[in-house]
Amino acid sequence: MIDILLFALMAGLLVAAACGPLGALVTWQRMAYYGDTLAHSALLGLALGLALQANLQYSVLFTCLFIATVLFALQWWRNIALDSLLGILSHSSLALGLVCLSFIDNQSVDLNAFLFGDLLAILSEDLVNLAIICALVLALLWRYWPALVAISAHAELAEIEGLAVKRLRLLLMLMVAATVAVAMKIVGVLLITAMLIIPASAAARVARSPEQAALLATLVGAIAVCGGLAGAWYWDTPAGPSIVLTAGCLFVLGQFAPGYRRSN
């Protein structure tokens, strides 16, 4: 039982570490709905994995990366509004995934675990895969953080200064896609966006710099993981929703903290 709790805690903290800075970048660029789109496409990856009898985690990962690439290509190729593209791809991929799942007999997976997460069912193999993806994402964030902050603050000015804005946005989309794919087993398809948005939104209240916002978002996510796991362990509540609920409570509490007023 201790191993189960330890694996769950380590997995949750890894996700919090990746979602903290990524969530800050996503909220700054007003891409909150982007996480939902990728989460919905994860169901399509699940259906493809079951149909092809492939590794489900890899199937979901490649599908999320593919959808992120398609979204980026459509946005720049046809110059379609981002919110429209997100809505189209989100509902289309979700519908296609559900239709594909309806044709698969004798499903050997618990769909509720993918929808709402099953943190206490994390295995050592899942933890290794999660650690690899999160380490890669954090390394890329460390390398490109100043540039990603610059395009979030003012994309046009960043492009004038010589930054490859399109490539950086594609990199951000792919990092979010990878994080969503590997975190799906922890908080579920329906809740993964909350781990990106809620901690970052709570941190934005008191953060004085982009770096501080990222660190505080990670801290809020880590506290939410510990609180959610405690609820799941002691009161047998579902782990994924408990984590999100804890994060939501932290966000509400944060609204009573003295905010940092930026000078004009």
DSSP calls for 103-119: T--S--S-HHHHHH--G
Dihedral, CA atoms, 196, 247, 254, 151, nearest 10 degrees?
0
Tens-level pLDDT at each residue, the chain (264 residues): 667 889 999 999 999 999 999 999 999 988 878 888 888 888 889 888 888 888 888 899 999 999 999 888 887 776 667 778 888 888 888 888 888 888 876 666 677 777 788 888 888 888 998 999 999 999 999 999 999 999 999 988 999 989 999 999 999 999 999 999 988 878 888 788 899 999 999 998 889 999 999 999 999 999 999 999 999 888 989 889 999 999 999 999 988 877 554 443
Using an 8 Å Cβ cutoff, are 184 and 192 in contact? Answer: yes
- Of 51, 40, 32, the C-alpha closest to 95 is 40
Q: Could you give the CA distance from residue 74 to residue 257 in angstroms, rounded to a whole number?
A: 41
pLDDT of amino acid 264:
38
Left, alpha or beta for 35 (phi > 0: left; psi -120 to 50: alpha)? Answer: alpha
Left, alpha or beta for 236 (phi > 0: left; psi -120 to 50: alpha)? Answer: left
Break the chain into its structural domains and give their ranges: 2-192
Let me know how many helices (H) and strands (E) the chain has, helices first: 11, 0
Rg of the chain over all Cα atoms, to the nearest angstrom: 18
- What angle (nearest 5°) sits at the alpha carbon of residue 145, between those of residues 22 and 173? 45
Q: Out of 3.40.50.2300, 3.30.70.360, 3.30.70.260, 1.10.3470.10, which CATH number does the structure's domain 2-192 have?
A: 1.10.3470.10
Q: Could you give the CA distance from residue 240 to residue 246 in angstroms, rounded to a whole number?
A: 10
